Amino acid sequence: FQFRNLLINSRGPLAAALIVKEQARQCGNDWRRGQEFCWENLRAGDLLGTQELIAEDALTVECRVKISAVLDELMSVTRNRGGNWRQFCGLSNLPRSHRKPTSKNTGTEENSRSSDELLASFDVPPIISLMWIACSLSGADQVKAFELMDVALNASEIATPSNGDEDQDLADDSGVVSSDEGTDIESPNSKAHFFSVGKVLPVDSPEDALLGGKRSLN
């Protein structure tokens, strides 16, 4: 669950970035008429520039280490399999497997609850989730997150397989989508299966997700 783990361990700076954005709105001229910022109405670029105003204690040392490790793993995998990563980032929203409740054995009850609330709210294309994460991080981790966005936006498309056997072979060799269940998209036959993802969730390009729709940068 690389991407899911990235979201969960980034919950501290993400929440802090959202607070910074809302506080800025309340200090503006239109604070009476403006809509309160929340994950349900946040646009792709709304957290740009917030990282400099996020308190250091928003991210624990443990989570910082985990975030760096996950980012390094994703960078390593997507370097040679960018097409799969591009398709994943172009999904219309996060797969249900990424938004299901966390195990109560993974941390305190408070952390599990905050993680569950965050995952449930992130009903947006993965490329937008990744941009929010990048905007809430700083230093080398922020650079890595933006580099992952760059891979998704510039990678070549994956050719669609012509038959089931070839489909399965390519899915097994895909790395990003079948290395573990964290980035897998399950087909109706419940096997690690990326190439029929359009049957489960609409797939668009990451560019369309960033530049089109109600959450777009425009």
Q: Which pLDDT band, with edges at 50, 70 and 90, does 173 fall under?
A: very low
Report the pLDDT value the prediction gives residue 35, as an integer from 0 to 100: 84
Report the pLDDT value the prediction gives residue 94, as an integer from 0 to 100: 79
3-class DSSP state for residue 186? strand
Interior angle at CA 65, CA 61 and CA 68, nearest 5: 135
Q: Compute how many other C-beta atoms are within 10 angstroms of the C-beta atom of residue 185.
A: 26
Report the pLDDT value the prediction gives residue 12, as an integer from 0 to 100: 94
Q: Which pLDDT band, with edges at 50, 70 and 90, does 10 fall under?
A: very high
Q: Is 213 exposed, middle or buried (0-12, 13-18, 19+ CB in 10 A)?
A: middle
Q: How high is the mean pLDDT of the chain?
A: 76
Q: Are 44 and 215 in contact (CB under 8 A)?
A: yes
Predicted confidence (pLDDT) at residue 165 exceeds the cutoff of 70: no
Q: What is the mean pLDDT of residues 162-189?
A: 38
Predicted confidence (pLDDT) at residue 193 exceeds the cutoff of 50: no
Interior angle at CA 91, CA 162 and CA 1, nearest 5: 95
Report the pLDDT value the prediction gives residue 92, as an integer from 0 to 100: 87
* pTM assigned to the model: 0.75
- Among 152-156, 161-165, 205-209, where is mean pLDDT lowest? 161-165
Report the pLDDT value the prediction gives residue 215, as an integer from 0 to 100: 85
pLDDT tens digits, residue range 73-118?
A: 999 999 888 899 999 999 988 777 666 665 544 455 555 566 667 7
pLDDT tens digits, residue range 109-160?
A: 555 566 667 777 778 899 999 999 999 999 999 999 999 999 999 987 654 4
The residue that leads in pLDDT, 106 or 69, is 69
CA dihedral 55, 2, 144, 73 (to 10 degrees): 130
The type of residue at 10 is S
d(CA 183, CA 161): 19
Q: Which two tokens stand for residue 40?
A: 């349900």
Report the pLDDT value the prediction gives residue 131, as an integer from 0 to 100: 96
Q: What is the mean pLDDT of residues 157-172?
A: 41
The residue that leads in pLDDT, 4 or 72, is 72
Q: What is the mean pLDDT of residues 60-77?
A: 95
The residue that leads in pLDDT, 8 or 185, is 8
Report the pLDDT value the prediction gives residue 57, as an integer from 0 to 100: 92
